[in-house]
Homo-oligomer: A and B are copies of this chain.
Amino acid sequence: VFHDLPLFYLIGDPGLLRGVAKKMSSPPPIKEIAEPAEAADVFDTALPILPIALAGRVKPGRPNTRHATAVMAAIEQAVSHARAGAAAAVVTNPIQKSVLHKAGFKHPGHTEYLAELCAAKRSPVMLLSCPGLKAVPVTIHLPLQEAVAALTTDLIVERALTTAAALERDFGLSPPRLAVAGLNPHAGEDGELGSAERDIILPAVRRIAAEGIDVAGPLPADSMFHAEARRAYDAAICMYHDQALIPIKTIAFEFGINVTLGLPIVRTSPDHGTALDLAGRNEADPASLISAIGYAGLIARRRRRFG
């Protein structure tokens, strides 16, 4: 049924899934499984689902704190399967954080929650990938003013080294080539438009180069994302959220995915949000989720070979 995708199973509410499937012109068969190992036998003929029941009926597009427990249980189960080796990777769907916050979810985002579940030793890194571009924001979910203030040479170096290792291990890009963006217009124009390039970013680039990594920068952010410029590097190290996300979503809105680096497990996700306005209408574009599942399989296979 899903012959282009690696073997996967869903963790969620079977009733909800069957209801959604009914709206499709040719819905896939769905079959409940009791544990991950059963997925392989089912996958050729049906979508395997490991059931976690929701607390009640779902109104599509209407977030409800009653469902928060089941949502968190599904994530926790997926992580525990991956940590135990029963699954090779976790692919997460977008969550409605505001609902989870109200139900006691304490984390700024999905990724930080996963890091805690995995007892990760270093802070996780968000790598965004689409056909033609990989980009890593050094700072992520902070107001822009705070993101600028949070930039340090150490942080840039840490993110860049994690990224370089992942390009090699997870994507087979060896030796990896990094491009580091400037923060200010024209990368500060020799200090006329800001000093972060000279004081924070250039020292980071030098330390990254001293580790033997092929790295360029700080580069003017506006001219590093067109097709020809992108051929010169494997990943862009960006200083703030939108500096990475604007080019990714401009180039390939449908196919961007998020890969979390620095976790002991493989984790990918689509790079879009919950799109509540499209919920239950069978109109959402699944391209990003399909890419995320595909890449999770590829990365898991490469890590096994590498490790």
Q: B-contacting residues of A (Cβ < 8 Å)?
A: 98, 140-146, 148-149, 183-186, 188, 190, 193-196, 221-223, 225-229, 240-243, 245-251, 253, 272-273
Task: Name the one of B140, B143, B188, B225 contacting A249, with C-beta atoms under 8 angstroms.
Answer: B225
* Nearest CB of B to A281, in Å: 17
Supply 19 A–B pairs (Cβ within 8 Å), ascending by A.
A141-B185, A141-B186, A141-B193, A143-B195, A144-B183, A144-B185, A145-B145, A145-B148, A185-B242, A186-B273, A221-B245, A222-B241, A223-B272, A229-B253, A242-B243, A243-B246, A246-B247, A247-B247, A250-B250
Q: How far is the CB of A245 from chain B (nearest CB, A)?
A: 4
Q: Sorted from nearest, which 7 A-B pairs have the closest CB atoms?
A: A143-B194, A222-B245, A226-B253, A185-B241, A225-B250, A143-B184, A222-B249
- Docked Cα-Cα span, A239 to B186, in Å, equals 16
Name the distance in Å between A298's Cβ and chain B's nearest Cβ. Answer: 25
- Judge whether B223 and A242 touch: CB under 8 Å: no
Contact B250 A184 (CB under 8 A): no
A149 CA to B243 CA, complexed, in Å: 18
B246 and A185: CB pair below 8 A? no
Nearest opposing residue in chain B for A230, CB measure: B250
Instruction: Find the B residue at minimum CB distance from A98.
Output: B190
Q: Is A253 within 8 A of B228, CB to CB?
A: yes
Taking CB atoms, residues of chain B closer than 8 Å to A241 are: 185, 222
Bound complex: CA A138 to CA B112 (Å): 34
Contacts of A226 in B (CB 8 A): 249-250, 253
Q: Report whether B221 and A242 are in contact in the complex, using a CB–CB cutoff of 8 Å.
A: yes
Contacts of A186 in B (CB 8 A): 141, 273
- Extra 6 A-B pairs, beta carbons < 8 Å, given A221-B246, A223-B272: A98-B190, A186-B273, A222-B248, A223-B249, A225-B246, A226-B250
> Nearest CB to that of A248 among chain B residues?
B222
Name the B residues within 8 Å of A184 (CB-CB). Answer: 143-144
Closest Cβ neighbor of A225 among chain B residues: B250
Q: Write out the residue numbers on chain B whose beta carbons fall within 8 Å of the beta carbon of A228.
A: 253
What separation, in Å, do the CA atoms of A216 and B143 have in the docked complex? 21
Question: In the docked arrangement, what's the CA distance between A68 and B91, Å?
Answer: 59
| B143–A188 CB distance below 8 A | yes
Give min CB distance, A33 to chain B, whole Å. 36
**Which residues from chain B contact A148 at a C-beta distance below 8 Å?**
144-145, 148
CA distance A195 to B145 in the complex (A): 11
A11 to B227, CA, bound (A): 34
Across-interface contacts of A221 in B (CB, < 8 A):
242, 245-246
Q: Which residue of B lies closest to A101 (CB)?
A: B192
CB distance from A81 to the nearest CB of B (A): 30
Q: Is A223 within 8 A of B253, CB to CB?
A: yes
Q: How far is the CA of A98 from the CA of B186 in the complex (A)?
A: 13
Find out whether the CB atom of A222 lies under 8 angstroms from the CB atom of B242.
yes
Cross-interface CB contact of A194 among B145, B249, B250, B272, cutoff 8 Å: B145
Q: Which of A193, A222, A226 has the most B CB atoms < 10 Å from its CB?
A: A222
